Chains A and B, each alone.
Chain A
Amino acid sequence: NAGVMQNPRHLVRRRGQEARLRCSPMKGHSHVYWYRQLPEEGLKFMVYLQKENIIDESGMPKERFSAEFPKEGPSILRIQQVVRGDSAAYFCASFERREENIQYFGAGTRLSVL
């Protein structure tokens, strides 16, 4: 997973605040997935993005969550008005070619909501 950079690694927010998670894909990769993982749970798909496009956001809650992947800069997962249930590890994964879908993961952001 070297090369996929996520920051911050740990993020603490109080209820009602905004959380902003960043992901820079591996060099040459233009596809990004975001996943959420709760303790002892599997990875849950949230959103699939290409540069400047949201391809599939079917796994993302309709309210408070949004994601973008601008032409320049990292992909951003934004959670507004966080609640305790948002506490989880959020991973992004990038890949190069859509027809292969071989995903490489970043180290993740651990979000804690107080």
Chain B
Amino acid sequence: QKEVEQNSGPLSVPEGAIASLNCTYSDRGSQSFFWYRQYSGKSPELIMFIYSNGDKEDGRFTAQLNKASQYVSLLIRDSQPSDSATYLCAVGANRDDKIIFGKGTRLHILP
């Protein structure tokens, strides 16, 4: 069964520091990788997607993908209290296949 694993946290990071969120996946053939942010009681919000090995940057966010290690991460630079949320990693076998979500990592930015 295809699995996506995340540390549930909470991960506490001081304001202004770099938050590093990690995710591993079981299906070596996975092709598409997504990070969603979910505030308590709200719906998931897409932050980043990445398809190729390496880094992809968007503002304060950087997604890193290492297919050989079956590992994808999200870095948040200059963390803000508003970044406190649950971050969901999602992985798809193919670009047109359903994506499997991890249970999420709770991030807490300390003011």
Contact = CB atoms under 8 A, between A and B. Distances in A.
Interface stretch (A11-19, A67-75, A80-88, A101-109): A101-109
Contacts of B43: 1, 91, 105-108
A56 B100 CA distance: 14
Given A107-B42, A107-B43, A101 B96 contact: yes
Contact of A103 (B99, B102, B103): B99
B101 A43 contact: yes
Contacts of A98: 95-96
B110 to A, nearest CB: 22
Given A42-B88, A42-B103, A43-B88, A103 B46 contact: yes
A49 B97 CA distance: 12
Contact of B104 (A42, A100, A102, A107): A42
13 contacts: A41-B103, A42-B101, A43-B44, A43-B101, A45-B99, A48-B98, A91-B44, A99-B95, A101-B92, A102-B46, A103-B34, A105-B36, A105-B45
